[in-house]
Amino acid sequence: MEPQTQEASNSQRHTSDQNVHNVSDHMDEDVTSDAVDMDQYRINSWEDIGKIDFSSLSMKNICQLHFADLGLAFEFYNSYAKTRGFSVRKSRSIIVDGKVREKTYVCSCEGYRLEKWNHMKNRVREPKPETRCGCMSKLHVFFDAVTESWVVRDFCDEHNHELVVLKLARMLRSHKKMTEPDISQMNHMKEVGISMPNIFGSLASQCGGYENVNFSIKDMHNQVAKQRRQLPDDLTSAMAYLETLAARDQNLFYSVEKGREGVFRQIFWCDGRCQLDYDLFGDVLAFDATYKKNRYRLLVVIFSGVNHHNQTVVFGAAIVSNERKSTYVWLLKQLLIAMKGKTPTSVITDGHHSMVIAIQEVFPNAHHRLCAWHLMRNATSNIHKPQFTKMFTKLMLGNYEVGVFEQKWEEMVGFFGVEDREWIVDMYEKRNMWATAHIRGKFFAGFRTTSRCESLHAVLKRYIKSRYDLTEFVQHFQRCLSYMRHREDLADFKSSTGQPVMQTHFQQLERCQNFTSLT
């Protein structure tokens, strides 16, 4: 092999150099055949490397060393380099019969950068500083079949560049390393939503300062990226995580729909607690779509309601690729399957056309109410008259009889001359979905708007970042649910301890009101 020939010639050329020491010469001069003397130069473990005083280590001592394996040889040279202020890397190997028999470790400044990297016409990134300057420093070892160890053949410690001061040596490439405990701690802190800078600061505090940390924030990001590359594709990984949850929660339900060629379309999931909450509080269902909650910018749909403490409770969640009618039909059918066929009495949405059609198809007996806040915003954007929006809101929320409502509607649209506007005609046809006069007697659990959905989205922002992939989204969404359920537990505790203090003269009425709010 050509590299082997070149390596052999390099070895012969540098053996004659005065800065290169041959191990056999020193063995003849200083080392006896006594096995005890030989053992003092043998490196059997990383613990042996940790015991070496590199400040007093001579070149003669280094040339007498032999190592139990190649990894120890590299670790020794790298540790030595750190005390001197340079970085190392692995170079050529000589292979015989398919096995490595000789290995060279060199200074990171060995060789020169290829010219093609200096003259790139389509360069995007700023070029990195040139670090290679032809340094000849190296450690060359070979396998000795007699002692079954790796013996130092050549060692050169002459550098043609300035060495780094010791306090900065930890920043050199071969010395930046995250240990397994560091990686484990980073992953645990990352799972609970702590940012990388804060994780780095915490690790630095544990080490006694940033100067004692042997890696940077960029190294942490690189480690996270490496872990992602080792995992299967994102959707498979997300499903594997849900399978892990299902092993602990036998009632967990999830469903995935793929398009042609296995392309992801949507995923729906809900755990056993979601199903229990729906069984108790699922008479009123609110759902809305939000954007930019994941790295793919897919839509997130959350089904929610209200519990006995007037707190928002989640019944299920989904990530979808579009807002077509078929998508919402699929989602509602999955919800129906997960909830053992129980349908809601009332549904409140923002009035998206695809939602309306899907609800009519899947929940034909549920009363669909449109969000009051979205209607007020639409009134402003369609009519462009603040006074009209004010009158429309009063008419929408006012507790009128049907006849009074019809009269006031005619007066309002006539006063503003908007009888023929398309939005006005559409709203009148849908008055059974938004006017209090026409929905009197229907149960909505206090819902008038999807504001609870909006507030839920605000809570999600504290747990979910836009850079999260599907797996991370599901993980942190479940963490958000755990917090919400913790708040419900706190409310249960408060309601079961002590008695409320009456604050009015109508104590019997107030006591009944307090009891109703607690139950």
List pLDDT tens digits, range 14-68. Answer: 433 433 344 334 444 443 344 435 567 888 888 888 888 888 888 888 888 889 9
Question: DSSP code of 163?
Answer: P
Q: Which two structure tokens, joined as six digits, stand for 157?
A: 């410690």
Q: Which two structure tokens, joined as six digits, stand for 403?
A: 């006849």
- Return the sign of the alpha-carbon dihedral for residues 291, 293, 299, 301: negative
Q: If DSSP states are collapsed to H, E and C, what string results for 463-499? A: CCCCCCCHHHHHHHHHHHHHHHHHHHHHHHHHHHCCC
In this structure, of 86-100, 119-133, 420-434, the range with the lowest mean pLDDT score is: 119-133
The whole-angstrom separation of Cα 464 and Cα 343 is 30
Q: If DSSP states are collapsed to H, E and C, what string results for 56-68? A: HCCHHHHHCCEEC
Residue 11: predicted pLDDT: 40
Residue 224: predicted pLDDT: 79
- Provide the β-strand partners of residue 288: 302
Q: What is the pTM of this model?
A: 0.62
In angstroms, what is the C-alpha Rg of the chain?
36
The whole-angstrom separation of Cα 47 and Cα 512 is 73
Range 512-515, long-range pairs (CB < 8 A, 24+ positions): none
Question: Which band of pLDDT confidence, cut at 50, 70 and 90, is reported for residue 2?
Answer: very low
399 contacts: CB under 8 Å, gap ≥ 6: 436, 437, 440
In 3D, which of 444, 471, 21 has the Cα closest to residue 230? 471
Q: Round to the nearest angstrom and report the end-to-end CA distance of the chain.
A: 83
The whole-angstrom separation of Cα 426 and Cα 321 is 28
**Hey, which of 29-38, 101-110, 198-207, 234-243 has the most confident mean pLDDT?**
101-110
Q: What is the β-pairing status of strands 42-43 and 66-67?
A: parallel
More confident residue, 121 or 2: 121
Residue 238: predicted pLDDT: 87
Residue 167 has pLDDT above 70, yes or no: yes
More confident residue, 461 or 17: 461
More confident residue, 306 or 3: 306
Residue 20: predicted pLDDT: 37
- CA angle at 229 for the pair 225 and 230, rounded to the nearest 5°: 120
Contact 398, 366 (CB under 8 A): no
The whole-angstrom separation of Cα 333 and Cα 363 is 9
96 contacts: CB under 8 Å, gap ≥ 6: none
The whole-angstrom separation of Cα 403 and Cα 191 is 58
More confident residue, 263 or 150: 150
